[in-house]
Amino acid sequence: MAAAIESLLAEIAEVDDPVEGLKSLRTAVLATPISSLRETFSVAQLGIIFSLLNTNDKEQIEICVEILGRILAIFDPAHLAHNCKAELQSGLNHPDNSVKVLALTQMGCVVSNADGIAELMNNPEILQDVIQCMGVESVGVSEEAISVLSKLCNTKAGLDTLFRSDLLNKLKDVMAISDIIRYRVYELVVEISSVSPVSLGYCASNSFITKLLEELTGDDVLIRATAIEMVTSLARSQHGRQYLAQQGIMDKISNMIMAADSDPFSSFYLPGLVKFFGNLAIMDSPQQVCENYPAFLSMVFTMAMSPDPSQIPVALDTLGLMGGTVEGKQVLHKTGEQFNKVLKQMSRLAKDGATELRVRSLEAIAQLLTLPVEQQTDDLLLLTESWFCSLSSEPMEMIRNISTQPFPELHCSALGIFIAIACQAWGQRLMMSSPGFAEWVVERSVSKGKEAKDCKFKLVKALLSSSSTHEIFGTQNYLKLKTYLKEGPYFVTAIASITTEGAD
């Protein structure tokens, strides 16, 4: 096969129309093991294929990209950076986006290698081309460029290369192209800043973070909405949250929430503000966040009760995330009647809302009711029971009715509520008092499709995770559950076929 590849390369280099030869080469390359390719290809031979990218023939470019994608993977990244600089640069500047992505993918390997970074430090022009790729229209190309530069900055040498050289000015030049490109640079900056306090320091000292934070209060509400998403990403790291707190950003965002009523365009960015504090509450402390920034939880309740359906989903998601923790449950419980009204609204949405809101409501309710065995105390069990019972005068029947509707997403979301209460003794007692429930749990024919079967299996597992199930469900039902678990989610009962062929 090695001889065949060499012969094809020689043939391709001499013909005017190399497409057919390239097709044969592609077949040979894909059929040859990587170990054999390493012994076959040299950098000089790579140059032949790279040279064939200089064409307007889309098919020829596509085949070359496939071949190079396979072959380039055999080379050591540092070796590639040293010996294929011109080829990589031509790829980064190629008018076809697939070639740009190919070159950027290889650059990603180079910057993940210490020796590769050392090679690039002696050739900053190629990194300028990577930065320029962030400014092209193609999202796929820009994302690859962001990935390369982010990997580069995983080391101090890489940080110095990007932020303490002429590359910094190139980055700022690209940033000035348009609003869209500016936010691609912010995306890169946030990725880099999230790695460590040191990397955040590099970005902050060059004013990138300051400029991003200033966009929070800009005149353009769409830019403001994008900025809050970026700031939320930065807050996912502990050092990022500490930096934002030092800059007074939490107070600023809280003030923006309080001022939202007076801004007719607040609906564009308000969900992002709520998401910011919702993420903060989960990563730090729901109680601390809600006590320090009371406007947050007040706005969540307001949005949950809003007649505007576009405001409701983020409120439901936030309540579900918060209520999925013990501390969050306690915070919501302390609000008393406020939360009870919201819970009843969630129940109404689950029964009568648009499909998406029904699913979001059911999933949020399931999170609120979830209480793993190791977290169960008498007080918390009473709390989850009271929340479940407040959903409806007949909550078990309400959820069962939803679960029987011919929509997989509703069926599985309703089962999620049963899964949440299945390991809680009060939930098991309600299940047993609901006519036919014990039989329905182990009846396989009611679950259609893989997702539904998986959900039913999770329900059985949840029931068997509790020590009270045997006593409450009884031995016969308990053994049926054990059998169901043993047989797995996709078990099908074999039915014997009886034929009368040949009988008298």
pLDDT digits (tens, 9 = 90+) for 117-169: 888 888 889 999 999 999 999 999 999 999 999 999 999 989 999 998 899 99
Mean pLDDT of 411-422: 94
Q: Chain-wide mean pLDDT for the chain?
A: 90
Least confident of 37-41, 215-219, 304-308: 37-41
Q: In this structure, is residue 421 part of a structural domain?
A: yes
2 pLDDT above the threshold of 70: no
- Cα–Cα dist 165/117, whole Å: 14
pLDDT at 497: 47
Q: What is the pLDDT of residue 463?
A: 95
Q: Which pairs from 296-299 meet CB under 8 Å and 24+ separation?
A: 296/254, 296/257, 297/331, 297/335, 299/257, 299/260, 299/270, 299/273, 299/274
- Quote the pLDDT of residue 500: 47
Asked whether residue 259 is domain-assigned, the answer is no
Total domains in the fold of the chain: 2
Residue 458 lies in a domain: yes
Which pLDDT band holds residue 496 (cuts at 50, 70, 90)? very low
Q: In angstroms, rounded to a whole number, what is the distance separating the alpha carbons of residues 35 and 432? A: 63
Question: Is the residue at 65 inside a domain?
Answer: yes
**In a domain? residue 431:** yes
Confirm whether 344 is domain-assigned: no
Indicate whether 495 pLDDT > 60: no
Final residue of a structural domain among 74, 107, 135: 74
User: What's the pLDDT band for 413 if we cut at 50, 70, 90?
Assistant: very high
Residue 219's pLDDT band (boundaries 50, 70, 90)?
A: confident
Those residues with Cβ within 8 angstroms of residue 181's Cβ, 6 or more apart along the chain or in another chain: 134, 135, 142, 174, 175
Residues 6+ positions from 337 with CB-CB distance below 8 Å: none
Compute the CA torsion angle 243, 246, 247, 251 (nearest 10 deg): 110
Answer whether residue 115 is part of any domain: no
Report if residue 448 sits inside a domain: yes
The Cα 29–Cα 37 span in angstroms is: 8
Domain that holds residue 483: 388-488
Question: Cα–Cα distance between 446 and 436 in angstroms, integer?
Answer: 13
- Check residue 498 and give its pLDDT: 47
Label residues 134-157 b or e (16+ Cβ within 10 Å = b).
Answer: bbbeeeebbbbbbbbbbbbbbbee
